[in-house]
Structure 1
Amino acid sequence: MDITRTEEFHPPVLTPKDIQNFLGISKSKTYEFLNSGELHVARAGRTIYVSRVVFLEWLEGKSD
């Protein structure tokens, strides 16, 4: 599957559960990754959100 063509499969803003399912990792590893600072996350209270664009750029090695 062409990773850049996932718009139809993923919403514009991803939740930790979306990322967990996509990467096939545990919940604890997902939160460890999201709290590592490897990619920009947005927080609303205790809830974490990640832009699909930011996540896909990280996945493709295009992030800073």
Structure 2
Amino acid sequence: MTKELSCEDLPEVMDVKHIQKFLGLSHVTAYELANSNEFHVVRIGRRIKIPKQSFLEWFYGKKQDA
């Protein structure tokens, strides 16, 4: 079993695997969350990159401007 990550362990630009480890989700569920438009993601080809600040604001319940 992989170790979960803390906020301090997260890189400034995350991959879906970082969300998976941080929240303790399955691979499929982490991708579903990344594709849910709940927080800002950057798509580079097939890759998904997530800014740490955007993700943590969503996680802690801070509102994003639409």
TM-score band by shorter chain is: 0.7 to 0.9
For structure 1, the 5+ residue unaligned runs are none
User: What corresponds to 1:35 in structure 2?
Assistant: 35
Instruction: Map 1:1-64 onto structure 2 (within 5 A).
Output: 6=8, 9-64=9-64
TM-score by length of 1: 0.84
Moved over 3 A (4+): none
Among the aligned pairs, what percent are the same residue? Answer: 44
Which structure is richer in relative contact order (CA contacts within 8 A, separation 6 or more)?
A: 1
TM-score by length of 2: 0.81
Q: CA RMSD in A?
A: 1.4
Q: Which amino acid aligns with 1:10?
A: L
For structure 2, the 5+ residue unaligned runs are 1-5
